[in-house]
Amino acid sequence: MDIASNLQEILSGIPRHVTLVAVSKTHSKEQIMSAYKAGHRVFGENKVQELVPKYEQLPKDIKWHFIGHLQSNKIKYITSFIHMIHSVDSLGLLKEIDKYGRKYNQVVNVLLQVYIAKEETKFGFDEQELMAMFQSPNYLACYNVRVCGLMGMATNTDNELTIRNEFRFLTDLFKKLKGSVFSDSDYFKEISMGMSSDYAIAIEEGSTIVRVGSKIFGERDYGEKEIE
Ligand SMILES: *Cc1c(COP(=O)(O)O)cnc(C)c1O
């Protein structure tokens, strides 16, 4: 199957209100252009050093989503063009994004990453940490970020029930926040969850953004570059 037909197959199976982020990390500009020529405009990358050259060399109507662990010292390279940062996992990072947002006169769309898996290697806030942050004067002073929702990654397992419960937990937390802290926000509406192996479950559990890589572009070959 080629990239265009993979895309078409996935899009035909997901509801219209769900955004498909085509995760193009490790894949070439030519492969991204195959998806682009098929009409796709929303792509995701997880490394700043890989995203920046792709941004520079590819069409400017692409909406780039940053989905990886973001280091504070690299925010400045993507602030001016990034459509959404999915992976904000600390107040420190949020403050830094706000700082560069102010500098570049942008309001940066972000999602707060929540720790939902049973894996030490994954990042994110827990509920108490989020609640504490929402009270913090430093958080309330971040005018150049727009919190658009939550993001989570389920445990890497074949156990569907485990995955489903983790996604459900994220949706429940989202609803709780939507009904309290964010009740006045028109922007707080996204739940980014679901990848190639579990996006169908994620959508059943309320996902509004799925991040799908290998099912579109094929398996990734990290070669010697693999560091995470
Ligand atoms: C790589 C990646 C994906 C896509 O993974 P696939 O299994 O290839 O669909 C989704 N989300 C994040 C955060 C990723 O790093």
- Print the SS3 string covering 130-159: HHHHHHCHHHHCCCCEEEEEEEECCCCCCC
CB 154 within 8 A of CB 117: yes
111 has pLDDT over 50: yes
**Rounded distance, CA 70 to CA 60, Å?**
22
CA of 172 to the centre of ligand 1 (A): 23
Distance from residue 141's CA to the centre of ligand 1 (Å): 32
What's the pLDDT band for 227 if we cut at 50, 70, 90? very low
Task: Answer yes or no: is pLDDT of 52 > 70.
Answer: yes
Percent of the chain with pLDDT over 90: 92
Does the beta carbon of 212 sit less than 6 angstroms from any atom of ligand 1?
A: yes
Which residue blocks in 152-226 are alpha helix, DSSP H?
A: 160-178, 199-204, 214-217
Q: Is the CB of 213 under 6 A from ligand 1?
A: yes
Q: Let me know: does 170 contact 114? Beta carbons within 8 Å.
A: yes
**Tokens encoding 222:** 């990290």
Task: Give pLDDT, residue 223.
Answer: 63
Confidence at 220, pLDDT banded by 50, 70, 90:
confident
What does the pLDDT average to over 208-227? 83
**Ligand 1 pocket, residue 196 CB under 6 Å:** yes
Å from CA of 137 to ligand 1 middle: 34
Which residue, judged by its Cα, is nearest atom 13 of ligand 1?
Answer: 67
Q: Do residues 32 and 50 lie in contact, with contact meaning Cβ atoms separated by under 8 Å?
A: no
CA angle 165–167–172, rounded 5-degree value: 90
Place of tokens 């509801």: 15
pLDDT at 228: 44
Q: Which residue has the tokens 């989503």?
A: 65
* Closest ligand 1 atom, residue 215 Cα: 9
Predicted confidence band at 32 (pLDDT cuts at 50, 70, 90)?
A: very high
pLDDT value, residue 60: 98
